Chain A
Amino acid sequence: MPKITYISHDGQKNIVEVPTGLSVMEGALQNNIEGIDADCGGSMACATCHVYVSDNWFNKLEKTHDAEKDMLDMAYEPKKNSRLSCQIIVSNDLDGLEVTTPVKQI
């Protein structure tokens, strides 16, 4: 099962196994990882599962859709490497993926 690393804004690492097919957001919720709120439940209607993806991983992800970019405008301190974790689907290729959660979600 792919391992996903969730890094909190103050550097704490949580490495958990997430089944392929789930989103990085769902992986966080199922493992009680703090820092990802996911208020809308994954319908891309909020921006509270916002994460920063390290540069080497960012380019390996599927491209950010326009609707997600629009939603990221609403995120807390979005950066170039911002993604909504509900839109990153875990696959074997993403084994080892590292995402960092922002200081807060709203």
Chain B
Amino acid sequence: MIKTDAIIIGAGPTGLFAVHQLGIIGLKCEIIDNLDRAGGQCIELYPDKPIYDIPAIPECTGEELTNGLLKQIKPFKAGFHLGQRVEEIKKENNLWTVKTNKGNTFLAPNIIIAGGVGSFEPRKITLKEAEKFEGSQIFYSVTNKDIFKNKKISIFGGGDSALDWALELSKINQITLVHRRSEFRGAAHTLGEVKKKEKEGKIIIKTPYNLKSIEGDKTMTGIEIEHEDGKLEKIKTDYILSFFGLVMKLGPITDWGLNINKKTIPVNTETFQTNKEGIFAIGDICTYPGKLKLILSGFHEAALAARACFARAKPNETYRFEFTTASKSIHDRLGLKK
């Protein structure tokens, strides 16, 4: 079990800046995110799209913003716990215990939820029959490509993941690539490679088609796809790989007894505390009169929540406001050389 001053749930820009604001005032923290890298929506949804409303940064991409924040919080040595989701929280003697689905446990007086719109999970095939084959013949990510040798594979999706895996697996098998429209949105170079493989007969492209049904009882034997104009076609398939991107789900957060209003958590704007003592919510997930879902608002919220954490983390000390320009103790925390 890791003991700390605050546990941050969500490593998007707001969660990352919360590390900074806690660090500046001398508090330690651990940060948890379901994605396997920091950055949240910035890195997952728009790594290459420019953002124009970060103060003093006229233009930067989601990736640049994330890298900048990671650099800025480096001195505070926060523990990162990525690729795992917080499943359970419990309060004991004024302290919160937090457990993740990877079995890690944390203990702290404060939890800061910076969970955006929830945790990212792969968007699944909507057909009911897909459920029973998930993990055995239907996959939303690839962990072991050896199982695909000499098998019939149908890949669904129109983005980079679908194209990349079609290319990769076309080295060992003929692949069927199915997409709902004729344009693909992957990188131009990758698309060129895929078209080349199509000419060689290594990849069969089926557009504009959607998955209509899955055949087979205990074992999936094939699929039926439907053309935009209604024409049906059967394809023998041993494995489906589906890459329809990610969806955001609040998930277990809804089970923690927090007030939730339209997928957001109401907070007190002085401390950003929720209806539970010691649990704070900042960034897109919190709501209050006038709330704007902007990164810069998340930064402000992080600053106030961090100060509120101080009283619970160090009940015997008095918090004193200091500027980073002048404070020796802040300079020490930043590891600046004298």
Q: Do A and B truly interact?
A: yes
| Chain A residues proximal to chain B, CB less than 8 Å | 37, 39-41, 45-46, 66, 69-70, 73-74, 76-78, 80, 106
Q: How far is the CB of B40 from chain A (nearest CB, A)?
A: 11
Q: How far is the CB of A10 from chain B (nearest CB, A)?
A: 17
Q: A74-B245, A80-B228 are in contact. Are A45 and B41 (CB under 8 A)?
A: yes
Residue of B nearest to A74 (CB): B245
Q: How far is the CB of A60 from chain B (nearest CB, A)?
A: 21
A69 adjacent to B183 (CB under 8 Å):
yes
CB-CB contacts below 8 Å: B42-65 with A? 45-46
User: Chain B residues near A45 (CB, 8 Å)?
Assistant: 41, 45-46
B41 adjacent to A40 (CB under 8 Å):
yes
Pick from A66, A69, A73, A80: contact of B244, CB below 8 A. A73
User: Chain B residues near A37 (CB, 8 Å)?
Assistant: 263
B117 adjacent to A73 (CB under 8 Å):
no
Q: A45-B41, A80-B228, A106-B123 are in contact. Are A74 and B244 (CB under 8 A)?
A: yes
* CA gap between A8 and B183 in the complex, in Å: 29
* CA gap between A74 and B293 in the complex, in Å: 22
User: Chain B residues near A106 (CB, 8 Å)?
Assistant: 123, 247, 249
- Given A41-B293, A69-B183, 19 more A-B residue pairs with CB atoms under 8 Å apart are A39-B118, A39-B263, A40-B41, A45-B41, A45-B46, A46-B117, A69-B181, A69-B185, A70-B159, A70-B185, A73-B179, A73-B181, A73-B185, A73-B244, A74-B123, A74-B247, A77-B126, A77-B210, A106-B249
Instruction: Say what secondary structure dominates the interface of chain A.
Output: loop
B248 CB–A CB distance under 8 Å: yes
A73 adjacent to B249 (CB under 8 Å):
no
Number of residues from B at the complex interface, CB < 8 A: 25
B157 CB–A CB distance under 8 Å: yes
A73 adjacent to B41 (CB under 8 Å):
no
Most chain A beta-carbon contacts within 10 A, residue among B179, B183, B245: B245
B23 CB–A CB distance under 8 Å: no
User: Chain A residues near B248 (CB, 8 Å)?
Assistant: 39, 46
User: Chain B residues near A70 (CB, 8 Å)?
Assistant: 158-159, 185
Residue of B nearest to A29 (CB): B262
Can you list 28 residue pairs at the A/B interface with Cβ under 8 Å? A37-B263, A39-B118, A39-B248, A39-B263, A40-B41, A41-B284, A45-B41, A45-B46, A46-B45, A46-B247, A46-B248, A66-B183, A69-B183, A69-B185, A70-B158, A70-B159, A73-B157, A73-B158, A73-B159, A73-B180, A73-B244, A73-B245, A74-B244, A74-B245, A77-B126, A77-B210, A78-B180, A106-B249
Q: How far is the CB of A30 from chain B (nearest CB, A)?
A: 12
